[in-house]
Amino acid sequence: MNNRYDFLFIFDAQDANPNGDPDAGNLPRIDVETGQGLVTDVCLKRKIRNFVALTANGAAGKRIYFTDGSVLNDLQQEAQNAVGIPAAESKAPKNGKKDQATAWMCENYYDVRTFGAVMSTEINCGQVRGPVQLSFARSIDPIVASEHAITRSSVTNKKDAEKERTMGRKFTIPYGLYKAHGFVNPFLAAQTGFNDDDLELLFQSLENAFQFDQSAARPAGSMNPRALLVFKHDNALGAAASHKLFDLVTISKKAEVEVARSFADYDLTIDESAIPNGVTLIRRI
């Protein structure tokens, strides 16, 4: 990979909880000062990991390191076994074996060579700084969290069997349009082995991020990608600063709209005349 990339990922949520905050009773994440909604980078990376795991089905080079229920030391032990690190050296491999174990993890795990990982625990496979980084997604306008009381006819404990129903609650937002920034570092890509095929899979994952992520909190059709705008530089260093490219994209609520409830209530404009030489805009969505 010889090119730097900057990209914008724009998606919306309607009558859904795009990213619950466990520190706030699973309320949608929010910037308490501005009221804008937030979706963490970790949440977005999980969508990508899940898509790759689903479509690749454990194929060589596309395994996922961070999965539900995985024991990371066991995965790192597999790498040490593959490069011949004796058990006595597992914490501090000698003769460059740790670097070999790190390279083995990058080669076999898509998310390690894409996002990086800290693998220097009891079974030491080093640390990797990934070439792909994502920002928090932030909503264009403030969001409003709605609380809904729900009931169920079942009970958890036998002592409550005489109760007709138990009560619960769930949270949604009526609507929110979110924007996240992404960056691909070709120098780090050369270190981890991240290549053009991996980049294409990354973009495919974002395009389908919510297609196979439906749940009670995010019903089918409630979350949708609306734009994936990729700025491709013609060299590794890049032809312009990331923030200057991102500033060329403007998203604003239409003048006649008081309360947004769909993507159609917004105008998305790109000042293509100001795109500098050496940068190509690719509209994936």
Span between the terminal Cα atoms of the chain, in Å: 23
Q: Which residue has the higher pLDDT, 160 or 272?
A: 272
Could you give the residue ranges of the DSSP H alpha helices within the chain? 41-56, 72-83, 97-108, 110-115, 186-192, 196-207, 242-246
Q: CA angle at residue 32 from 30 to 36, to 5 degrees?
A: 45
- Asked whether the beta carbons of 61 and 104 are under 8 A apart, the reply is no
Q: What is the mean pLDDT of residues 62-76?
A: 95
Dihedrals phi, psi of 80, to nearest 5 degrees: -65, -40
Average pLDDT, the chain: 95
CA dist., res. 225 & res. 223, Å (int): 7
pLDDT reported for residue 58: 86
Q: Is the pLDDT of residue 158 over 90?
A: no
Strands 279-283 and 36-39, sheet pairing? unpaired
CA dist., res. 138 & res. 10, Å (int): 10
Burial of 213 from C-beta contacts in 10 A (0-12 / 13-18 / 19+): middle
Dihedrals phi, psi of 221, to nearest 5 degrees: 85, -5
- Asked whether the beta carbons of 178 and 12 are under 8 A apart, the reply is yes
pLDDT reported for residue 51: 96
Q: Is the pLDDT of residue 121 over 90?
A: no
CA dist., res. 97 & res. 90, Å (int): 10
- Asked whether the beta carbons of 200 and 208 are under 8 A apart, the reply is no
Binning pLDDT at 50, 70 and 90, where does residue 89 land? very high
Q: How many CB atoms lie within 10 A of CB 204?
A: 16
Distances (CA, A) of 183 to 89, 154, 243: 36, 47, 11
Q: What is the mean pLDDT of residues 48-71?
A: 94
Kindly list the domain boundaries of the chain, sorted by start residue: 5-139+172-283, 146-170
pLDDT reported for residue 149: 85
pLDDT in tens, 122-153: 999 999 999 999 999 999 999 999 988 888 77
Dihedrals phi, psi of 90, to nearest 5 degrees: -60, -35
Give residue for tokens 């209530």: 265
Q: What is the mean pLDDT of residues 222-239?
A: 97
- Asked whether the beta carbons of 52 and 110 are under 8 A apart, the reply is yes
Phi-psi region of 186 (alpha: psi -120 to 50; beta: other; left: phi over 0): alpha
